Amino acid sequence: MADPSPLLPVSNSLEPSYNPVPEGTVSAGCPATRLRRSKKVLIAVFSGLLVVSLILATINNNSGAQHGDENASLAASRETAKPETLLPAGSRGVSAGVSEKANLKGAGVKDYPWNNSMLSWQRTAFHFQPEDNWMNDPNGPLYYKGWYHFFYQYNPNAAVWGDIVWGHAVSKDLIHWLHLPLAMVADEWYDKNGVWTGSATILPDGKIVMLYTGSTNESVQVQNLAYPADHNDPLLLRWVKYSGNPVLVPPPGIGAKDFRDPTTAWKTSEGKWRIIIGSKINKTGIALVYDTEDFINYTLSSGILHAVPKTGMWECVDFYPVSKTGQNGLDTSVNGPQVKHVVKTSLDDDRHDYYAIGTYDDKAAKWYPDNPEIDVGIGIRYDYGIFYASKTFYDQSKGRRVLWGWIGESDSEVADVKKGWASLQGIPRTVVLDTKTGSNLLQWPVEEVESLRLKSNDFNNMEVKAGSVVPLELDGATQTSFAEFELDKKAIERAAESNVEFSCSNNGGASHRGALGPFGLLVLADDNLSEYTPVYFFVAKGNNGSLKTFFCTDQSRSSVANDVRKEIYGSYVPVLKGEKLLVRILVDHSIIESFAQGGRTCITSRVYPTRAIYGAARLFLFNNATEAGVTSSLKIWNMNSAFIRPYSNEQQ
């Protein structure tokens, strides 16, 4: 057992509102303890009132935030098609204080007779997955002594959420992974009901501290400290939980199940460390701020970093600087006039990740959105498909900020259990500010994924007439492709005002025809087009001649199976003067990740075809516009598989 003593000097801690009951403790306690406690509870209640009133004051100040201007930004079409057949499973996660997979139960949905060959095809070739069972949020990603470390929420016992511990894997390049033993299991009263999400901070001396949420034996959400048992071990195999855990309990006024997912810490101008933790008060989502010098004792800041009414519980908050000028990533503590700060929240209520760009006031411990109309949780999303509980880290080896996101399943839980696994991680993405628009981020698959490229096929200036489908002759379905599209300029000029009210999810998908769209690619299609997933653009024209471009994915015909979700989603994508329409797509069996205009708008889908699989999966260009022809050039690569397997000593 490694040294469980504090990492850093100890000071007096603040009195919590929650008196933890370690397992085996008789809650009646001795009279002396009770007396001492009741005094402290009074103090806690008083300071609780203070904290709550400060928080409410901040919330009132923020309450002017409204939904975004439909015409002004990426947020223009916040779209979440909610198929009527979706009913929440409502059992394990909800009672523990987190949501879980929406499941296709009820409403007469019958299980499709999936066979082994179909289910085996769904497993991916170059996306990170554990060997089996359930995975959810990315946790504590970091780069240390030549290895990328990836921890993740993992159920070692089943392909559904529950019994959550920390899985662990390492990689030299973020693509090929070696599975290591579990990093942390639920073996203490303060994480008995789950070792939940957390983040890593690398201290100036190179040491690592990990803060994570524990769901206690009483399902109270507390924050715990852990650190590597041996900092000389590049694989960071053994983790020690601090003997004084928990280091934080829900403060007064905050629900016992509304206090989770600590961020990576950053330095304040006073030289302290600062973290934020997601929570809510009534329906207002908030990020609580704590300062610490030693990761053991914390001061709750006088208020909150930020709050947005009607957004509900904020899970997995993230906070980081982006450069206003360069394309490099920034370490979390960087501040100054050359940076903007991003706040991201994962909204428990709709299970999507929203971000906003704004200004951070270090002294006041506050953050203000550049545009309150597209504040966090009511504006722009990282991804308009399936993408949740994401987390960034600063990769000091390449000077970039890398984003990990959990990609859940959209099939039935019955099918997940049958195939023995559920969930993927998206290909890690670099994130930078889009300095051309200044109002959105650019997300792009890390360059290392390009090392998997095999044979490429080029198609130049393909004419795709209005109302046509053009097959692309390729072999092998696991692909990555770049495609650019140019609409016929004369047709654009000719077209009358069209589809000004367009939104991806409310316009009938790729089969709905407008003057200037939809056009794009049919991915994972079979020869007879009985199954296909369109990834496409749609251009709407205003009466003043202005064009507005949308980027969408339509899963309504992705599978003949009935027990999978078949949503149509997407959003507005900014297209600047002189830019062609560009899309990059990564197809890896049951996942399609699409990036429009260099990563301004991204969509990740999970699809479960029954026919368009293995050698039968094909790719088509399509143009379903009524007026405009399209010219398209494409570069398509077959992709190799990544090595993702258990670590063995020979690899050392």
Catalytic annotation, residues: 137
- Give whichever of 93 and 329 is closer to ligand DQQ, judged by the CB atom: 93
- Give whichever of 257 and 366 is closer to ligand DQQ, judged by the CB atom: 257
Shortest separation between residue 230's beta carbon and ligand DQQ, angstroms: 27
Query: What gap in Å lies between CA 375 and CA 492, rounded to an integer?
Result: 34
Q: Beta strand pairing status for 87-88 and 102-103?
A: antiparallel
Query: What gap in Å lies between CA 185 and CA 280, rounded to an integer?
Result: 28
- Give whichever of 198 and 629 is closer to ligand DQQ, judged by the CB atom: 198
Q: Could you say which residues in the range 28-87 bind ligand DQQ, by CB under 6 A?
A: none
- Give whichever of 315 and 627 is closer to ligand DQQ, judged by the CB atom: 315
Query: What gap in Å lies between CA 571 and CA 87, rounded to an integer?
Result: 25
- Give whichever of 196 and 266 is closer to ligand DQQ, judged by the CB atom: 196
Among 55, 74, 98, 602, binds ligand DQQ (CB under 6 A): 98
Shortest separation between residue 101's beta carbon and ligand DQQ, angstroms: 10
197 binds ligand DQQ (CB under 6 A): yes
Shortest separation between residue 470's beta carbon and ligand DQQ, angstroms: 41
The site that binds ligand DQQ (CB under 6 A) totals a number of residues, namely 13
153 binds ligand DQQ (CB under 6 A): yes
Among 101, 103, 137, 175, binds ligand DQQ (CB under 6 A): 137
559 binds ligand DQQ (CB under 6 A): no
Retrieve residue 593's tokens.
């990740």
Query: What gap in Å lies between CA 366 and CA 345, rounded to an integer?
Result: 16
Query: What gap in Å lies between CA 289 and CA 105, rounded to an integer?
Result: 39
Q: What's the helix, strand, coil split of the chain in %, to 5?
A: 15, 40, 45
User: Quick check: 407 and 425 in contact, CB under 8 A?
Assistant: yes
Q: Beta strand pairing status for 644-646 and 177-184?
A: parallel
Q: Could you say which residues in the range 254-283 bind ligand DQQ, by CB under 6 A?
A: 260-261
Shortest separation between residue 100's beta carbon and ligand DQQ, angstroms: 9
374 φ, ψ (degrees, to nearest 5):
-125, 50
Residue with tokens 């390449």: 398
User: Quick check: 318 and 391 in contact, CB under 8 A?
Assistant: yes
Query: What gap in Å lies between CA 222 and CA 204, rounded to an integer?
Result: 26
316 binds ligand DQQ (CB under 6 A): yes
Q: Could you say which residues in the range 384-423 bind ligand DQQ, by CB under 6 A?
A: 389
Count of all residues that appear for the chain in the document: 652
- Give whichever of 199 and 559 is closer to ligand DQQ, judged by the CB atom: 199
Among 144, 151, 152, 196, binds ligand DQQ (CB under 6 A): 196
At residue 297's C-alpha, the angle toward residues 296 and 299, to 5°, is 140
- Give whichever of 440 and 604 is closer to ligand DQQ, judged by the CB atom: 604
- Give whichever of 197 and 624 is closer to ligand DQQ, judged by the CB atom: 197
Shortest separation between residue 642's beta carbon and ligand DQQ, angstroms: 25
Query: What gap in Å lies between CA 579 and CA 585, rounded to an integer?
Result: 18
134 binds ligand DQQ (CB under 6 A): no
Q: Could you say which residues in the range 452-491 bind ligand DQQ, by CB under 6 A?
A: none
Strands (E), 26-103: 87-88, 102-103
Shortest separation between residue 560's beta carbon and ligand DQQ, angstroms: 31
User: Quick check: 192 and 185 in contact, CB under 8 A?
Assistant: no
Shortest separation between residue 164's beta carbon and ligand DQQ, angstroms: 5
- Give whichever of 251 and 321 is closer to ligand DQQ, judged by the CB atom: 251
Query: What gap in Å lies between CA 276 and CA 279, rounded to an integer?
Result: 10
Query: What gap in Å lies between CA 133 and CA 423, rounded to an integer?
Result: 9
Among 164, 287, 515, 586, binds ligand DQQ (CB under 6 A): 164
Retrieve residue 243's tokens.
């003997």
At residue 10's C-alpha, the angle toward residues 12 and 229, to 5°, is 140
608 binds ligand DQQ (CB under 6 A): no
- Give whichever of 213 and 292 is closer to ligand DQQ, judged by the CB atom: 213
136 binds ligand DQQ (CB under 6 A): yes
589 binds ligand DQQ (CB under 6 A): no
Shortest separation between residue 424's beta carbon and ligand DQQ, angstroms: 14
Which letter, b or e, does each residue of 215-225 get, where b requires 16 or more Cβ atoms within 10 Å of its Cβ?
bbbbebbbbbb
Retrieve residue 394's tokens.
């600063």
Alpha helices in 181-237 (DSSP H): none
Beta-carbon contacts of residue 357 (< 8 Å; ≥ 6 apart):
322, 340, 341, 342, 369, 370, 433, 439, 440, 441
Could you give the 3-state DSSP secondary structure of residue 646?
A: strand
Shortest separation between residue 129's beta carbon and ligand DQQ, angstroms: 17
Shortest separation between residue 287's beta carbon and ligand DQQ, angstroms: 13
213 binds ligand DQQ (CB under 6 A): yes
Beta-carbon contacts of residue 124 (< 8 Å; ≥ 6 apart):
424, 588, 589, 590, 591
Residue 267 CB coordination number (10 Å): 17
307 binds ligand DQQ (CB under 6 A): no
Residues that bind ligand DQQ in the complex, under the rule CB under 6 A? 98, 136-137, 153, 164, 196-197, 213, 260-261, 315-316, 389
